[in-house]
Copies of this chain bind each other. A is one copy, B any other.
Amino acid sequence: MTAPSPSTPQRAVPSAADPCLDRVRAHVRALPESGIVEVMNYGRARGGVIPMWAGEGDLPTPAFISHAAARSLEAGETFYTWQRGLPELRAALARYIARLYGVAEAPERFFVTGSGMQAIQIAFTMALGAGEELLLPSPTWPNAAAAALKIGAVPVPVPFDYGPTGFTFDHDRLERAVTPRTRAIFVNSPANPTGFVASHDDLRAILALARRHGLWIVADEIYGRFHYGEGALAPSFRDVMEDDDHILFVQTFSKNWAMTGWRIGWLEAPPALGQVIENLIQYSTSGVAAFMQRAAIAALEQGEPFVAEQVARAKAGRDLMCAALAATGRVDLVPPAGAFYLFFGVAGEPDVRRLALRLVDEAQVGLAPGTAFGPGGERFLRLCFARGETQLADVAQRLSGWLTARREVP
């Protein structure tokens, strides 16, 4: 590789006021920067920060999964493949869901996507036109609202109630938020960032709401196995739905199998939508690498011990961090019933975006500011506790030290 000679003309880097920006469609130009990524980018450029900002654990993908990808690559599985996903993976997904939930599912219901994010984008593209509304219990993971904005739709945040038991649905408020333009409701349970877990009664109420108003439910149950209440699994729409309900399940391999960086997920939908979903995959990314899909099959078929270990580790992490933060006497924190985040307020610290940036510099801990998660999140910080005991103890010490020191210097 030869570097360009000094006399090579250099293409200029235009300024931020470049007229190019004026020619970008307004709703696209107005998309918000992820408030999580902002802090990540700030902190990644600094050394020594323990990153608890993103929704990912500290374990790399287990070797049995990575090796399945490497073997597939070695075997030359590097050509175009099925747009809906390898038939073997679709069958493995159907078996996985059947095994967990005791409801046999047809492989034709499963569509492999290039991330859970893409599954959401496809679901919204089918359900929402420009100007149409998506109900979004809030605070919530910001990418759901942004994915709706990206296609010109209108996310309508509907705040959770917040009380001594933490966040809860206000079903009357959800009902009142429905307008003639409402087309869908995004239901994330167990929830990111709040740790809220919908009960079966909650799910039945939302199902009734959706039926009454002809809404799609986009069900994000990706943390369904990270459940600290009764039963191994969090309550699921699968437990209460009928065959003709209009539910799109968005899913990912990221959390259960420590595959955040892979970008592979799936959409579960009525098979009648098969051709539409195939087209949307074809015209957005044209499928998922076969060698990634081989790894996904290994995850589903050999991954149970790893998932069990991850869930147990998260539960221990939750208990450790909750105890440490509660001991400072400065936090407002209800232990989460599911997912793997603490979502807590700090007394005397109303500006959490600034607080998150300060914690990077002053405590060397990276947290996500609640402002990134929409209405109702403004006074909270999100901390991912899907980590090992050693790191969590370190984080607990750094945060406790900072919180205590700050208390002593008013």
Contacts and interface: CB of A to CB of B under 8 A. Distances in A.
Interface of A: 1-4, 8-21, 23-25, 27-29, 31-34, 37, 54, 56, 60-61, 66, 69-70, 73-74, 76-81, 83, 95-96, 98-99, 102-106, 108-109, 114-115, 117-118, 121, 125-130, 143, 146-147, 149-152, 214, 216, 243-244, 246, 258-263, 269-273, 275-276, 278-280, 282-292, 301
A78 B104 contact: no
Contacts of A34: 279, 282
A3 B146 contact: no
A99 B2 contact: yes
A289 B272 contact: no
Contact of A125 (B8, B14, B25, B56): B25
Contacts of A56: 79-80
A282 to B, nearest CB: 6
As for how many copies of this chain the complex holds, the number is 2
A260 B28 contact: no
Contacts of A102: 4, 8
A236 to B, nearest CB: 13
Contact of A286 (B13, B70, B103, B143): B143
Given A19-B244, A76-B61, A151-B151, A13 B271 contact: yes
Contacts of A12: 243
A9 to B, nearest CB: 6
Nearest to A2: B99
Contacts of A4: 98-99, 102-104
Given A283-B143, A284-B121, A286-B117, A21 B262 contact: no
Nearest to A304: B1
A11 B109 contact: yes
B125 A261 contact: no
A80 B116 CA distance: 13
B272 A11 contact: no
A289 B270 contact: no
30 contacts: A1-B95, A1-B301, A2-B99, A4-B102, A4-B104, A9-B103, A10-B103, A13-B108, A13-B271, A14-B243, A14-B271, A17-B272, A18-B273, A21-B272, A24-B127, A24-B273, A28-B280, A31-B279, A33-B279, A37-B282, A60-B79, A69-B73, A79-B261, A118-B285, A146-B282, A147-B284, A150-B284, A151-B151, A261-B287, A263-B286
A126 B25 contact: yes
Given A4-B98, A263-B288, A13 B276 contact: no
A204 to B, nearest CB: 18
B125 A11 contact: no
A45 to B, nearest CB: 11
Given A69-B73, A80-B260, A117-B286, 15 more contacts: A1-B96, A11-B103, A18-B271, A23-B127, A28-B280, A31-B283, A32-B279, A34-B282, A37-B83, A37-B278, A61-B73, A118-B284, A152-B152, A263-B287, A289-B292
Contacts of A301: 1
B289 A261 contact: yes
A95 B8 CA distance: 12
A130 B150 contact: no
A130 B73 CA distance: 40
Contact of A18 (B19, B81, B270): B270
A126 B15 CA distance: 18
A147 B11 CA distance: 29
Nearest to A131: B130
Contact of A285 (B25, B28, B263): B263
Nearest to A257: B78
